[in-house]
Amino acid sequence: MTTTSRDDGGGASAHAQGLRLAIQNLEREISRIPDEPVRGGRGEWISRREAKDKARVAMTTIHQEEANGSLRHRTVNRQTKLLTLLFVGLLDFPVMLWLVSSVLNVDWSDPFGVPLLISSSSPS
């Protein structure tokens, strides 16, 4: 059995050594990722590992609450959101406007008139 050796002047081993160093550098950078600081939900600085743990706790809590019948975390479709805004805009706004205008004694015959400005700025 004959073996043939190729002599390339050490170029292949130097290239392999360079690849090993590049791999080691990348592995070192990857190992630092969990400890990098990120901004938390309330603006605090925490590590990625802590953020992952907090997300896991939050997800577990959500799953437990949903299993117990809670509807707090369910997603709402776009139609429901639009109907809510429509309800607030068409029904709630006029009712609140009427309530506030009666409390502040607004004269609706001239709501932006001079007597309103004078009466609101004068001490009682």
Burial class (CB in 10 A: 0-12, 13-18, 19+), 67: exposed
pTM here? Answer: 0.46
Residue 33 near residue 40 (C-beta atoms within 8 A): no
Predicted confidence (pLDDT) at residue 33 exceeds the cutoff of 70 = yes
Indicate the helix (H) or strand (E) that contains 37: strand 37-39
The pLDDT value recorded for residue 117 is: 56
pLDDT band at 67 (very low <50, low <70, confident <90, very high): very high
State the Cα–Cα distance between residues 79 and 85, nearest whole angstrom.
Answer: 10
